[in-house]
Amino acid sequence: MQQFQESIYKLIVETSTNLPADVREAIQEARLKEDAGTRSALSLSTIADNIRMAECNVSPICQDTGMPTFIVHTPVGANQIEMKKAIIEAVAKATKDSKLRTNSVDSLTGANSGDNIGPGTPVIHFEQWERPEIEAKLILKGGGCENKNIQYSLPTELEGLGKAGRDLDGIRKCIMHAVYQAQGQGCSAGFIGVGIGGDRTTGYELAKHQLFRAVDDVNPNEELRKLEDYVMENANKLGIGTMGFGGQVSLLGCKVGVMNRLPASFYVSVAYNCWAFRRQGVLIDPSTGDITEWVYRRGNELPMEKDEPVKDAAASADSGERREIVLQTPISEEQIRSLRVGDVVIINGPMHTGRDALHKYLMDHDSPIDLNGAVIYHCGPVMAKDGEGNWVVKAAGPTTSIREEPYQGDIIKKFGIRAVIGKGGMGAKTLKALQEHGGVYLNAIGGAAQYYAECFKKVEGVDFLEFGIPEAMWHLQTEGFAAIVTMDSHGNSLHADVENDSRAKLAQFKEPVFV
């Protein structure tokens, strides 16, 4: 059983740090389709850099390593109780070794377990089969894309698409709407798994199971194969693009499964997964516990091609003008007012992380440091201590910013914050505060945790460690941190523009297709 535990540990490390070859191929194809020099093309280049760096560093591709979810097939007679104990120990070890972020949080107290172990975590599904070997599959699906999962109850009315009935065409409309509603908040371009039927619980489970399919497989059900092909051809016409920046590629994969349902219920469940599609599997010899085969082709079988990263060129190619601005923190209001949507900003100097717990706290309390002219980074990093006991940043990509919308405008006003960095954009309240108080929202590339970790040269300190490592306020010395202005102090929002444009494009798919 000790060797079985070590095999599961290897599975966790591989899944967290090395994207499988079929996912890499999908990303490479997207890079070929995207117009050179655009925001989306430059973002895909940054993503490719990050994939290479994670593999070389054997560090998490994305700092949000999600809810570890295992599907384990065992021969008849296998001791699933002992196997579960071994899996839990492997998860705890991988967390201690900074291959997983501390992501298990008490739902009532907010306390972080610190080792990814707790009621309901990790998720382990056991199924017996008639084969002699053990198969263990793992998916690491981050919270940002998990929040873009959606379930429809048919019949229903859908924005831009009208009525979706209890038929294949109604299902089609639901899937198209699911891609639209995700926008860039799920780290597009992404992958979706769709479950048709079941009840509310099994529908979502079926949808997530579809994400274990290979990107290039062919659905054995002819109707579902046609539906998958239709979605892949047409979802990319919505113009959402990578990170929601606009572009040619919004979806990298679509897999659909079906099960029976109750007469009174008709659910279409969609599991959205970001570009950092971390799933892998192994076959294990039950007599030795050794890995005998990897289920998916491993990432090192298909190296990512190197290209121009986002900080090497401005992203405002649409206007034909490239602007790159270097800012040293603290930043003045005059500097911020000079920025506009599309500019690439390179930040040097102190930066501070802040997520849900910190924003809630700051609404009613003072900040432990002066935030006038400061930059707040919506980030829950993976942190570790070096041999001398100093904190180091192991992974540090942006988290989804819209969660802070209830707080952000008030905090900008209260503390004089000049720049907020995250992913996916924010809403009208924050945009108004940026105008009134001279602030800007910068969109970093979601999932690019290794790319951005290199920008943090020193950890100057930490406050509120009692909130847990992801939610603490980390004070970081920064060099060369690149992000794109997507909301400026003049009332412009790229996110609102892309959403409005994609909503208009969604209407072209209103008429029936499958009749």
CA gap 104, 122 in Å, rounded? 8
Nearest to 319 by CA among 31, 38, 46, 34: 38
pLDDT value for 170: 98
Please state which of the ranges 155-169, 174-188, 297-311, 472-486 shows the lowest mean pLDDT.
Answer: 297-311
pLDDT value for 35: 87
Q: Is the pLDDT of residue 499 over 80?
A: yes
Q: pLDDT, tens digit, for every residue of 32-77? A: 999 888 999 999 999 999 999 999 999 999 999 999 999 999 999 9
Q: How far is CA 191 from CA 146, 152, 231, 375, 499, in A?
A: 12, 18, 11, 32, 19
Q: pLDDT, tens digit, for every residue of 91-133? A: 999 999 999 999 999 999 999 999 999 999 999 999 999 999 9
Query: pLDDT band for position 306 (50/70/90)?
Result: low
pLDDT value for 307: 55
CA gap 131, 273 in Å, rounded? 30
**pLDDT mean across residues, the chain:** 95
pLDDT value for 315: 40
3-state secondary structure of 286: coil
DSSP state of 252: E
Residue-range domains of the chain with CATH:
1-142+282-308 (no CATH), 143-273 (no CATH), 311-498 (3.20.130.10)
137 Cβ neighbours under 8 A, 6+ residues apart:
70, 71, 72, 212, 279, 280, 281, 295
Strands 391-395 and 419-422: unpaired
> HEC states along 75-93?
CCCCCHHHHHHHHHHHHHH
Q: pLDDT, tens digit, for every residue of 359-394? A: 999 999 999 999 999 999 999 999 999 999 999 999
pLDDT value for 363: 97
pLDDT value for 317: 43
Q: pLDDT, tens digit, for every residue of 218-269? A: 999 999 999 999 999 999 999 999 999 999 999 999 999 999 999 999 999 9
DSSP state of 450: H
Question: Which pairs from 54-58 meet CB under 8 Å and 24+ separation?
Answer: 54/17, 54/18, 54/19, 54/449, 54/450, 55/17, 55/18, 55/299, 55/300, 57/17, 57/450, 58/13, 58/17, 58/99
